[in-house]
Amino acid sequence: ISICRDLPNIEVITFSVNGISDLEPLNQCQNLSELYLRKNNITSLNELFYLKNLPRLRVLWLSENPCCGSDPHRYRMTVLRNLPSLQKLDNQAVTEEELSQALVDGEEITAPPARSVENGCPESTQSSAAESTTETASELLNFSLEETNKIREELGMKPVPRDKFSSFSPRETDCKQKTRNNVLNAILLLMKELDAEGLEIIQQVVGRRLQAFQKKELQEE
């Protein structure tokens, strides 16, 4: 998600099922209108502090994160009190009555969450590990494939067939695999910022890269 610091004009971000715990990189995305963060590792609603100054944010999907807690009403009221411009929260439309009630029942967030220094892979926390064991490999694959193909459709690319797609499974929790997926998502997002000339350069570089891989495979055979 740190790549978002370099994407101030991005409008839609889909990072569901990605082990994300920190929303600070999003606070400069002033054109962001839709943010999908379902099933991550966001532990504190104080992370909303980084979204409060995004003037165009209208859609937020934050459900199934630890920060939602055991009280759905308090959670929803707190989100709406701090993000009153939302039109849809967790795939449910926001009403004027809810926005008024949020001023009473919601908690005002005035400071970012306290950070603890962790070594190793940022997502390798006990909570995210426990979450991964409760998800079936099939569910993760279906959801990640849907998210990836949505991005590819926006870029005018063909969808990825299921048999050609790899995603997280209960065994793929190491840093190397997560880094690969994060880099792939970052590249797809960055491509949306390029014009025709930039995309042609990418096409040339990718073509040369693929030729190099094919040549290497032939030599190994």
3-state secondary structure of 35: strand
3-state secondary structure of 201: helix
3-state secondary structure of 34: strand
pLDDT tens profile 158-189: 776 665 554 444 444 455 566 666 667 667 76
Q: What is the average pLDDT across 133-154?
A: 57
Label residue 221 by pLDDT band (50, 70, 90). Answer: low
147, 14 contact by CB (below 8 A): yes
The per-residue pLDDT for 177 is 60
pLDDT tens profile 193-218: 777 887 888 888 888 887 877 777 77
Q: What is the mean pLDDT of the chain?
A: 77
Q: Both tokens of residue 101?
A: 């009630």
Listed in order, strand segments (DSSP E) in 45-132 are 59-61, 88-89, 92-93
Is the model's pLDDT at 144 over the cut of 70? no
How many helices and strands in the chain, by DSSP H and E?
6, 5
| Percent of the chain residues past pLDDT 90, beyond the cut | 38
User: Is 168 or 140 the better-scoring residue by pLDDT?
Assistant: 140
Label residue 123 by pLDDT band (50, 70, 90). Answer: very low
Tracing tokens 């994060």 back to the chain, one arrives at 182
Is the model's pLDDT at 133 over the cut of 60? no
29, 5 contact by CB (below 8 A): no
Nearest to 142 by CA among 181, 169, 171: 169
H-state helical runs in 68-174: 72-82, 96-105, 126-134, 137-154
| Percent of the chain residues past pLDDT 70, beyond the cut | 66
pLDDT tens profile 38-78: 999 999 999 999 999 999 999 999 999 999 999 999 999 99
pTM greater than 0.85: no
